[in-house]
Amino acid sequence: AWGALQANRKERDAKNIRLSQAEEKALHSDIALGQERVPIPCVNAVDSEPYPDGYKYIPENCVTSPMNIDRNITHLQYCICKEDCSASICMCGQLSLRCWYDKSGRLLPEFCREEPPLIFECNHACSCWRTCKNRVVQNGLRTRLQLFRTSKKGWGVQALQDIPQGTFVSFHLFYYSPFCKPQDLYCIDARFYGNISRFLNHMCEPNLFACRVFTKHQDLRFPHIAFFASENIKAGEELGFNYGDHFWEVKSKVFSCECGSSKCRYSSAAMASLQADSTPEDQQQPSASPDTSSSNSPSSPS
């Protein structure tokens, strides 16, 4: 009987998968138009929303006006390694505190995800091979990803392959503009120019974390914001990172989090509870109205 139940369950699950695949619409075979090492398809199995094309896909950061980014090769600190750049003599590793990548290009387990150090990859001034293991982010996107339509969050990104913990997934591309707000030195924006990372949603229990990485230059004002897997991720899982408290302090007035986590901090219910907890008691309960039930009222004329 148990075997029959298991067989029925498998048949039902397979049928549901076939139905889901049948309803899924392939909107684009590669939103990067061949600019990445792997194609990034776009699908929609939720509604009739078309492929998002209101932006320009770029594989590298760009600027909209002249900016003083220090790209002078003579200003780069570089290594003179001939073989293994994990050795203690590697200058790039010393700048990063150590060489943080293993032979598979993944971050070492002891890498601090809560307060990640800056990572300085080997660059074009170094003496090491182009295949040196301290060159990961600069090699671009290698993980198979897909843009898909979510039921509550608009577009999202999901894995098309298993992603081991510590794997580089993508980096946040944007354009720099010095003309956003007077108080900002520079503004970074992915509304009009960006890559697949512009579609990563917020997660209160994220499976990605961000790290500042330097590849072609070492101007500390303009790092790559690279996303690495914070855990083992299965094919089909949505990818996301924590947008941070400051984002939700502003955006919670407009919309709430739909990550679906049991530990969600920014859902409508969580935000209402937080607001109630932060409201002083004298504002939560209105002062009692005077009791007029026994007050003397003018006699009606007889």
Tell me the pLDDT tens digit for each residue of 26-40. 999 999 999 999 999
pLDDT of residue 230: 98
- 233-258 pLDDT, tens per residue? 999 999 999 999 999 989 888 999 99
pLDDT of residue 199: 97
Of the candidates 39, 38, 42, which has an alpha carbon nearest to the alpha carbon of residue 26? 42
- Which residues of the chain fall short of a pLDDT of 50? 14-19, 183, 287-302
Q: Which domains does the chain have, with CATH numbers?
A: 24-242 (2.170.270.10), 243-274 (no CATH)
- 156-203 pLDDT, tens per residue? 999 999 999 999 999 987 665 555 555 455 666 778 889 999 999 999
In our burial notation (b when 16+ CB lie closer than 10 A, e otherwise), range 276-289 reads: eeeeeeeeeeeeee
Task: Please say whether the beta carbons of 141 and 38 come within 8 A.
Answer: yes
pLDDT of residue 280: 60
